[in-house]
Structures are given as structure tokens and as C-alpha cells.
């Protein structure tokens, strides 16, 4: 495995400067945003598709420093009920997939998107309960009339360009846990199902009460689902969650009153949890990148990132398994 980093936290700096910083800290891979929520400060897919020299310059900037690109990331909502928003997100996803194919990058990280609850509605609607019956009707519309047709076509598009769409399981989107990811993967045409994969971010599972290591094992039952991983932690604070639960709409900056917040790895869960997570990934055959994503509101980007690098570097499993001389 390799320790990588999601460069979007340094969007205010030139990519070359960011890459040098990563190399200084021993980072081996970089994940680059291409638009939608992550922005495209370091990589505009529309421009790079039309400019062979610029595309080569980006690849050379990475390779000359001994790094690899682990993923291109265009997290957005192509299922948005507002046509203009959906079209913009869709176009960025498609351009990113095409660019990734040209650059030899398999993983395009994204969200599944979230439709409205019914045709004609203007706001995405995340359904979390089956009753009243309106909610079941909304789920049927979201899955059968919007998400499955859309991603069936886009899974074929991904296959045509030799890439996988790697969904980050994220609440407030249709795919938010292993069950919903498996549902979508199982619902697209079988010949393209292997293009529906995971960008596995444990932080979004922790606060839902999901054990990431068990989730890894469950996804592995369906094949090589996990193609990329984020290294981000989450801390649930029981003095709030035990009273109000974990469905928390307070601003992320209101840390003292929130049930949970994102943390730098090691500040939400200890070494035992992360060692088990890394070991479980190795057990199921994942030997890719753990891409550090900084979203810890209690630390600066630099401090949080340096702590995350130090935390992961002494527990990452970087060598292939050796011979079992004892067996």
C-alpha cells in the first residue's frame, strides 16, 4: 500500500509546489480534483482533453517526483433535479472519465448523486425511513426512474474509457453505505457492474455506526469493489449523540455542540482500529492508496496533514506478504 494525499486542500497553491511538499513528507501518490465540489484548480479536464502538451506536462510533473496519480475526483450530483446543475455535474464527470482514460488512471472518484423525491420537485431528497408511505414512493422513483437508468448508461461509458466510477459512500446521497452501493452495482447491466466501485472513506461510515473493517469484508463478497481509499477519521461525541443522536444538521464549525466531527486520522479512532482497517484491506486484496483527506476543523491543513502522514507511515503495510515459513 501507499500513503497518498488529496491535493484539493491546497487548491490555493500551484500543483508543482504541492507535489514538492508531498515528496518532502514521504507521500507516494496524489489524488487530484477535476471539478464539481472539489474544484479544478489543479486539473481542468476540458482543457487537458484538448491540450496534449498540457496533459503530458501534468503527468511529467507527477512522475518526475516519483509519485503516481491514484484518482481523479469530481464529486458532484449528476442526479440533481435542477437540469442545469445536473448537466454541469454530468459533463464534468464525463470529461473526467475521458481524461482518466487517456492518462491511464483507473479510478474516478465521485458521489452517486441524489435526485428529488418525485418528478417536478426542485430539491434533492435524502430518505432515511420507510414510513409514511410517501418515502417508499420517493425511493422507488429515485432508484428505478433516475439512478439506475443513469448509472447503467454511465457504467457503460466508464467501460468504454477503461475507468471505474468509485463512489464515496456519503450520507445525503443515494449511495451512503455498503448496502446501497451493492444495490446500485447489482442493478446496472451485469457486463458493466464491475465499473461501479468504491472510493472507501471510513469517516462517513464511523458516524453512521458502521464498522469500516466489517464493511470492507462485506463489499469484498461482491468482487473487487474497493478501488481507492480515503484516510479520514471521525469522532462521535457521546455527550451529544447519546442525547440527540447522530443525525446532526448544525454547522461543522459548531464543534462543541455537534454529535460528531471529522478528524485527522488517529484523532477519532486509535491505532488498533486503523491497524485492523489496513490489515482487513490487505486480507481482501486491496493494495492501493490510502489518500489523506484533510477536513479536521480543529487543526490547520498543515498540522492535520503532517500528523496524518506520521500516523499512517508507521502502520501502513507496504511490502508484499512473505513466505509462511511456519506453515
**Mean pLDDT within 247-256:** 96
Nearest to 7 by CA among 28, 26, 32, 25: 32
- Work out the pLDDT band at 327, boundaries 50, 70, 90: confident
Per the CB < 8 A criterion, the answer to whether 71 and 31 are in contact is: yes
CA dihedral 203, 195, 31, 4 (to 10 degrees): 60
| Mean pLDDT across 139-168 | 98
Q: Is the pLDDT of residue 67 over 90?
A: yes
pLDDT above 90 (res 90)? yes
The dihedrals phi and psi of 192, each to the nearest 5 degrees, come to -115, 5
Segments making up each domain of the chain, as ranges:
2-234+263-313
pTM (predicted TM-score): 0.97
pLDDT digits (tens, 9 = 90+) for 264-293: 999 999 999 999 999 999 999 999 999 999
Quote the DSSP letter at residue 308.
Answer: H
Reported confidence tier of residue 301, pLDDT bands at 50, 70, 90 = very high
Has residue 201 got a pLDDT over 90?
yes
The rounded Cα 256 to chain-centroid distance in angstroms is: 27
With beta carbons less than 8 A apart as the criterion, state whether 246 and 207 touch.
Answer: yes
HEC letters along 179-239 = HHHHHHHHHCCHHHHHHEEEEECHHHHHCCCCCHHHHHHHHHCCCCCEEEEEECEEEECHH
For 2-234+263-313, CATH gives: 3.20.20.150
Scan for cell 450520507, then name that residue. 171
Please write the tens of the pLDDT for every residue from 41-61: 999 999 999 999 999 999 999
Residues 91-114 pLDDT 10s: 999 999 999 999 999 999 999 999
pLDDT tens, position by position, 3-43: 999 999 999 999 999 999 999 999 999 999 999 999 999 99
Amino acid at each position: 500500500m501507499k500513503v497518498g494525499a488529496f491535493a484539493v486542500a491546497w487548491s490555493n497553491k500551484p500543483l508543482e509546489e504541492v507535489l514538492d511538499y508531498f515528496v518532502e513528507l514521504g507521500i507516494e501518490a496524489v489524488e487530484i480534483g477535476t471539478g464539481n465540489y472539489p474544484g479544478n484548480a489543479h486539473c481542468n479536464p476540458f482543457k487537458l482533453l484538448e491540450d496534449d502538451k498540457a496533459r503530458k506536462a501534468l503527468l511529467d510533473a507527477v512522475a518526475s517526483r516519483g509519485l503516481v496519480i491514484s484518482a481523479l475526483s469530481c464529486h458532484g450530483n449528476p442526479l440533481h433535479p435542477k437540469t442545469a446543475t445536473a448537466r454541469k455535474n454530468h459533463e464534468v464527470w464525463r470529461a473526467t472519465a475521458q481524461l482518466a482514460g487517456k492518462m491511464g488512471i483507473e479510478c474516478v472518484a465521485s458521489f452517486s448523486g441524489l435526485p428529488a423525491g418525485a418528478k417536478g420537485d426542485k430539491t434533492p431528497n435524502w430518505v432515511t425511513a420507510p414510513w409514511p408511505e410517501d418515502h417508499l414512493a420517493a425511493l422507488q422513483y429515485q432508484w428505478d426512474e433516475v439512478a439506475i437508468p443513469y448509472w447503467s448508461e454511465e457504467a457503460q461509458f466508464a467501460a468504454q474509457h477503461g475507468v471505474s466510477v468509485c463512489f464515496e459512500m456519503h450520507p445525503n446521497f443515494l449511495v451512503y453505505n455498503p448496502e446501497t452501493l451493492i444495490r446500485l452495482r447489482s442493478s446496472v447491466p451485469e457486463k458493466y457492474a464491475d465499473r461501479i466501485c468504491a472510493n472507501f472513506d471510513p469517516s462517513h461510515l464511523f458516524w453512521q455506526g458502521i464498522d469500516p473493517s466489517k464493511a470492507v469484508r462485506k463489499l469484498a463478497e461482491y468482487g473487487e469493489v474497493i478501488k481507492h481509499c480515503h484516510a479520514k477519521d471521525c469522532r462521535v461525541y457521546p455527550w451529544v449523540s447519546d442525547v440527540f443522536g447522530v443525525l446532526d444538521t448544525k454547522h461543522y464549525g459548531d464543534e462543541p455542540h455537534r454529535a460528531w466531527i471529522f478528524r485527522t486520522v488517529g484523532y477519532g479512532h486509535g491505532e488498533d482500529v486503523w491497524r485492523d482497517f489496513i490489515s482487513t484491506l490487505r486480507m481482501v486484496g486491496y493494495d492501493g492508496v490510502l489518500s489523506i483527506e484533510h477536513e479536521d476543523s480543529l487543526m490547520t491543513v498543515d498540522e492535520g496533514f503532517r500528523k496524518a502522514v506520521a500516523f499512517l507511515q508507521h502502520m501502513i503495510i507496504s511490502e508484499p506478504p512473505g513466505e509462511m515459513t511456519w506453515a
